[in-house]
Amino acid sequence: MADEFSKGDHVTWNSHGSQAEGTVKRKITKETEASGRTVKASPDEPQYEVESDKSGKTAVHKPGALHEK
């Protein structure tokens, strides 16, 4: 598990009891709107917006939830 991801990295995460795969779209380091919700992130606690390979939808996850593919 990496603590740092870059745009374009291919990652996996757990989603509703199964494993999802996708691509990191951006690193979020401040409070912002993403994936239909307010994301409370900071430089010390970043989050990542990822796009699912299967559905094309985006989601936001903390680094600990993502795993390098």
- pLDDT tens string 8-32: 999 999 988 999 999 999 999 999 9
Give the model's pLDDT for residue 2: 57
Structural domain total, the chain = 1
Is 1 inside any structural domain? Answer: no
Q: Alpha-carbon distance 2 to 34, whole Å? A: 22
Residue 24 falls within a domain, yes or no? yes
**39 is a domain residue:** yes
**Separation CA 31–CA 37 (nearest Å):** 10
* pLDDT value for 45: 96
Confidence category of residue 68, pLDDT binned at 50, 70, 90: very high
What pTM was computed for the model?
0.91
- Domain range for 61 is 10-68
Residue 4 within any structural domain of the chain:
no
Cα dihedral value 53, 55, 58, 60, nearest 10: -80
**Contact by Cβ (8 Å): 28, 20:** no
Tell me the chain's radius of gyration from C-alpha atoms. Answer: 11
| Per-residue confidence band for 1, with pLDDT thresholds at 50, 70 and 90 | very low
pLDDT band of 3, cuts 50, 70, 90 = confident
